[in-house]
Amino acid sequence: MLEPLNPHKQPFQPGEIALVGAGPGDPDLLTLQAFRFISQADVAVYDRLVSEEIMALLPTDCEKIYVGKKQADHKVPQERINEIIVEQAHLNKRVVRLKGGDPFVFGRGGEEALHALASGVSCHIVPGMTAASSCAAYAGIPLTHRQVSRACTLITGHVQSDGSLDLPWSALKDKQQTIVFYMGVKTLSIIVEQLKQAERSDDTPVALIQRGTTPNQKLVKGTLSNIVDLVAKHNIKPPTLIIIGDVVKTFEQASLANLGYLAANK
């Protein structure tokens, strides 16, 4: 049986696929391993969330196939993406499947890798900085913090096809647990209501980070009681990450001027 390749020091052969995590936007957050694979690509199959600066790192003669999608506006169905990467590999190309963040965190990388392997194509899995850790760092919010948060749950806020958001809400009630919602802006009001019903208090801090790590990063902070209004007021749109829990307040009393991310953005 074919297994995914651990890309550590493995050569990238023609006819192989590499699922490459491109990180959240800032090209500085690309790993050296991702860069190594990107520089060898014959063809890149890429998403909407991959930044222009990272696309510019592809070889000049690399073919580019866009398969990006917006929520509720799937330009290329997932099954077709699976086929495209395998078809390209069968043409004996080095196929880089470039994805925002990490391929295995809400990136459907698992589905693509399974399809590739089932088709007899070798597949490298190259991790990327996921939005949770990257946006948290750039917003000055630790995802865990001693005596404040002892767990962190990454969870999807994307609705099912019937419009419902069927999540294990009672498992999210622990005050010392940070909750990070991916794809949750559109369902924020449901999230807030459900968390209140799960006994999260009204004053639970909430942060939204839009286009985190990019020059257009926007940060909005509030609590469960006022965040829906704040998000409407500031016109927050996807891609946005939601962080919920007391960790959001960690640096409120500290001098943020001395945090590296702020210095770097001056």
Compute the half-sphere exposure of residue 47: CA atoms within 13 Å on the CB side of its CA: 27
What is the smallest separation between the CB atom of 92 and ligand SAH, expressed in angstroms?
28
Cβ atoms of 231 and 189 closer than 8 Å: no
Which residue number has the CB closest to ligand SAH? 101
Token pair of 169, please?
Answer: 């809400």
Token pair of 107, please?
Answer: 């990136």
Active site residue 93: no
Helix or strand holding residue 182 (H, E): strand 177-182
Nearer to ligand SAH, 186 or 196 (CB): 186
Q: Which residues bind ligand SAH (CB under 6 A)?
A: 24-25, 49, 99-102, 105-107, 130-131, 135, 182-183, 209, 211-213, 238-241
Helix or strand holding residue 118 (H, E): helix 109-118
What is the smallest separation between the CB atom of 150 and ligand SAH, expressed in angstroms?
23
CB neighbour list of residue 264: distance below 8 Å, 6 or more residues apart: none
What is the smallest separation between the CB atom of 129 and ligand SAH, expressed in angstroms?
8
Nearer to ligand SAH, 75 or 175 (CB): 75
Catalytic residue among 9, 26, 42, 47: 47
- Annotate 67-101 with b (16+ C-beta within 10 A) or e (fewer): bebeeeeeebeeeebbebbbebbeeebbbbbbbbb
What is the smallest separation between the CB atom of 47 and ligand SAH, expressed in angstroms?
8
d(CA 60, CA 75): 25
Nearer to ligand SAH, 42 or 213 (CB): 213
Residue with tokens 């990180």: 23
β-pair partners for 20: 98, 126
What is the smallest separation between the CB atom of 15 and ligand SAH, expressed in angstroms?
25
Nearer to ligand SAH, 7 or 100 (CB): 100
What is the smallest separation between the CB atom of 141 and ligand SAH, expressed in angstroms?
13
| Dihedral (CA of 22, 28, 34, 35) sign | positive
Catalytic residue among 28, 61, 64, 69: 69
**Sheet containing strand 43-46, strands side by side:** 63-66, 43-46, 95-99, 17-21, 123-126
Nearer to ligand SAH, 82 or 93 (CB): 82
User: Phi then psi for 97, rounded to 5 degrees?
Assistant: -95, 100
Active site residue 69: yes
Nearer to ligand SAH, 5 or 49 (CB): 49
Question: Catalytic residue positions?
Answer: 47, 69
